[in-house]
Amino acid sequence: MRWGEAGSPWWLLAWAAGWLIVAGGLILAVAWAVRLARSSARPDPLAILKERYARGELTREQYEQMRRDLQD
């Protein structure tokens, strides 16, 4: 009886294909995470200022002054 033998080299190809799939999945996951991190960059300062004004955190005068400062 051949208990220690697989009987054919096909198991080696199956394992190699499995590891290639795992490695490819990891590469895709890292690429997706990097792309997501780049796309979720902070908005520009003027957009933040507009949001703060819209929420009522700033008066019109404060908003206008800060907007002029940012545009200069």
Per-residue pLDDT of 15-70, as tens digits, reads: 999 999 999 999 999 999 998 887 767 778 999 999 999 999 999 999 999 999 99
Q: How far apart are CA 66 and CA 60, in angstroms?
A: 10
| Count: domains in the chain | 2
Q: How far apart are CA 34 and CA 11, in angstroms?
A: 35
In a domain, 4, yes or no: no
**Residue 47, domain extent:** 42-72
In a domain, 3, yes or no: no
Token pair recorded at residue 64: 């206008």
Residues 47 and 59 in one domain: yes
pLDDT, tens digit, 9 for 90 and up, residues 10-23 = 888 889 999 999 99
